[in-house]
Amino acid sequence: MKTSPDQLNFNNRFGRLPDVFYTRLQPIPLDHPKLVAVSQNAADLLDLELGDSCKQQLTQIAGGSRVPESADPLAMVYSGHQFGSYNPQLGDGRGLLLGEVTNDKGESWDLHLKGAGMTPYSRFGDGRAVLRSCIREYLASEALFHLGIPTTRALCVVTSDTPVYRETEERGSTLLRIAKTHIRFGHFEYFYYTQQHDALKTLAEFTIQNYFPQWLNKDDKYCLLFKTVVEKTAHMIALWQANGFAHGVMNTDNMSILGETFDYGPYGFQDDFNWHYICNHSDHSGRYAFSQQPDIGYWNCGRLAQALVPLLDDASALQKILDSYPTLYSDKYLSLMSEKLGLREEEPEDSELIRDLLQQLHEQHLDYTLFFRALSNYQPGQASSALMDLCSQPDPLKQWLQRYDERVLRNSEPEQQRHQRMKQVNPKYVLRNYLAQTAIEKAETGDYSEIKQLMTVLKSPYDEHPDLEHYAQKPPEWGKKLEVSCSS
């Protein structure tokens, strides 16, 4: 049954945990909130009917002036490793968990308001978010979802007349985020490093009870929990790599315990493929470069393992589970890349074929998305102009294609069928940085139409959209040099 935001059925289970887990407080309203964008797909998760009155209520809720009656807003406390160093005091410095909503199917969804004003965890910040960062999160969460990558979702973005000061004056804005959970690796680290081992245990029990109830009575439930986190994290990162996505700030406070892409900041999609792509302008050492993401995922799981040690009599089990990460990651990555290449029935040389292709893409600065889409139409022996036009040095690619020809012929599958399969995993449209930037620049003048139109292709990235072909093009020169930093 369709409902309105005011009537959402909040269950507020996190708020029933002891108060060492959070600080209860209300959002601080923005001046004259205006709805910038709203996602019907995300609204469906909460059974919301997106009519005018629903949009009005959402604007007020996101603007902080209205809190649904049964909601119980709170700021969560957590800590985490940022750029490799432990930061003992983080927490929701500019966001509030409004509560968890149970939908008609009985699913529970967290509703989180990002940009809701100062909290006890704001440190030196103002508790606010700006329009550009809210739009970036909105576009990316919906884009990744439609690419099949586990992610938090975005219900709507609101902006306002409230001034917020970054490098220049900007508009205070908010994002209403929907997610299965807001529990981060950093939650566990906080209770481990503050030596609150009872709370640590309560948190682990809460996580198991709500997300993995089947293990509640198992002796090794904490190991099972860790094993799942490791698996989900390895899978998520393999999907990032296969889709050319760089997160940009893989601090442990930005890692969801359910392996969903979380806390979008200075992320980026590959245009011209570069192994060492650094999307975060503030990442001077390249710690979170594209090529580093799989290893950082492993390192982050190690930090979580450390935090779980007090829960186990024999902590060596955690190390064993952690040791499974590299294989879990590379098996998943190999299978995703094999699908992108249209390979069937794994063969021993497949890894080498994939690696050599990526080397070509890297050396020739080939556009990652356009290349794989063009390969999805390629016929062995007939290097199409669509493919060849992409590269500056055709010969090495032709040599690679000869090997590829032999390999796909062994698929013993009709050509058409392979093309069909490949087009379902090689998107035509991805959220290129310059596309997000164009939508942001228009929105900053009060024109939100570009966000909506861009969303049309991001919602069905594998389909052809003949009227919107321009979204499938390489970035213009200005769009290659955009710099995105943590300041948001």
Residue 84 contacts which entry, ligand AMP, Mg ion, none (Cβ below 5-8 A, type-dependent): none
Residues 261-280 close enough to bind Mg ion by CB under 5 A:
263
In whole angstroms, the minimum distance from the beta carbon of 254 to Mg ion comes to 5
The answer to the question of residue 254 lying near Mg ion (CB under 5 A) is yes
Nearest C-alpha neighbor of 243 from the set 267, 264, 269, 279:
269
The answer to the question of residue 79 lying near Mg ion (CB under 5 A) is no
In whole angstroms, the minimum distance from the beta carbon of 135 to ligand AMP comes to 15
The answer to the question of residue 93 lying near ligand AMP (CB under 6 A) is yes
Percent helix, strand, coil in the chain, to 5, is 45, 15, 40
Supply 127's token pair. Answer: 């508790």
Q: What is the DSSP letter of 476?
A: P
Q: Which residue's CB is nearer to ligand AMP, number 126 or number 295?
A: 126
The answer to the question of residue 119 lying near Mg ion (CB under 5 A) is no
Pairing of strands 153-165, 129-130: unpaired
Give dist(CA 112, CA 118) in Å, integer. 15
Q: Which residue's CB is nearer to ligand AMP, number 137 or number 271?
A: 137
Q: Which residue's CB is nearer to ligand AMP, number 54 or number 75?
A: 75
Nearest C-alpha neighbor of 430 from the set 323, 277, 271, 272:
271
Element (H, E) at 318: helix 316-323
The sign of the dihedral angle between the CA atoms of 320, 323, 328, 329 is positive
Nearest C-alpha neighbor of 290 from the set 268, 264, 262:
268
Q: What is the distance of C-alpha 322 from the center of its chain?
A: 22
Count of residues near ligand AMP by CB under 6 A: 16
Which residues fall within 8 angstroms of residue 314, CB to CB, at 6 or more apart? Answer: none
Residue of this chain nearest to Mg ion (CB atom)? 263
CB 29 within 8 A of CB 65: yes
Residues 238-277 close enough to bind ligand AMP by CB under 6 A:
249, 254, 263, 265
Q: Which residue's CB is nearer to ligand AMP, number 89 or number 359?
A: 89
Q: What is the DSSP letter of 456?
A: H
Nearest C-alpha neighbor of 50 from the set 180, 140, 156:
156
Residues 72-91 close enough to bind ligand AMP by CB under 6 A:
90-91
Residue 176 contacts which entry, ligand AMP, Mg ion, none (Cβ below 5-8 A, type-dependent): none
Residue 110 contacts which entry, ligand AMP, Mg ion, none (Cβ below 5-8 A, type-dependent): none
In whole angstroms, the minimum distance from the beta carbon of 249 to ligand AMP comes to 6
Residue 64 contacts which entry, Mg ion, ligand AMP, none (Cβ below 5-8 A, type-dependent): none
Q: Which residue's CB is nearer to Mg ion, number 207 or number 256?
A: 256
Strand-pairing partners, residue 86, are 81
Which residues fall within 8 angstroms of residue 124, CB to CB, at 6 or more apart? Answer: none
Residue 20 contacts which entry, ligand AMP, Mg ion, none (Cβ below 5-8 A, type-dependent): none
Residue 486 contacts which entry, Mg ion, ligand AMP, none (Cβ below 5-8 A, type-dependent): ligand AMP
In whole angstroms, the minimum distance from the beta carbon of 79 to ligand AMP comes to 9
Torsion of CA 406, 409, 411, 413, to 10 degrees: 160
Binding pattern to ligand AMP, positions 457-486, x when CB under 6 A? -----------------------------x
Residue 94 contacts which entry, Mg ion, ligand AMP, none (Cβ below 5-8 A, type-dependent): ligand AMP
CB 209 within 8 A of CB 183: no
Torsion of CA 119, 122, 128, 134, to 10 degrees: -110
Integer CA distances (angstroms), 454 to 142, 432, 457, 468, in order: 11, 11, 6, 9
In whole angstroms, the minimum distance from the beta carbon of 42 to ligand AMP comes to 20
Question: Is 253 in the active site?
Answer: yes
Contact pick of 83, 108, 126, 380 for ligand AMP (by CB under 6 A): 126
CB atoms near residue 351 (< 10 Å): 15
Q: Which residue's CB is nearer to ligand AMP, number 81 or number 227?
A: 81
Q: Which of 253, 263, 271, 283 is catalytic?
A: 253
Nearest C-alpha neighbor of 432 from the set 452, 461, 464, 389:
461
Give dist(CA 172, CA 30) in Å, integer. 7
Q: Which residue's CB is nearer to ligand AMP, number 151 or number 360?
A: 151
Segment near ligand AMP (CB under 6 A), from 118-126, 143-151, 177-185, 344-352? Answer: 118-126
The answer to the question of residue 50 lying near ligand AMP (CB under 6 A) is no
Give dist(CA 325, CA 230) in Å, integer. 6
Q: Which residue's CB is nearer to ligand AMP, number 51 or number 88?
A: 88
Supply 51's token pair. Answer: 């009519």
Q: Which residue's CB is nearer to ligand AMP, number 251 or number 433?
A: 251
In whole angstroms, the minimum distance from the beta carbon of 444 to Mg ion comes to 24
Residues that are catalytic: 253
Q: List interacting residues with ligand AMP (CB under 6 A).
A: 90-94, 121-122, 125-128, 249, 254, 263, 265, 486
| Contact residues: Mg ion, CB under 5 A | 254, 263
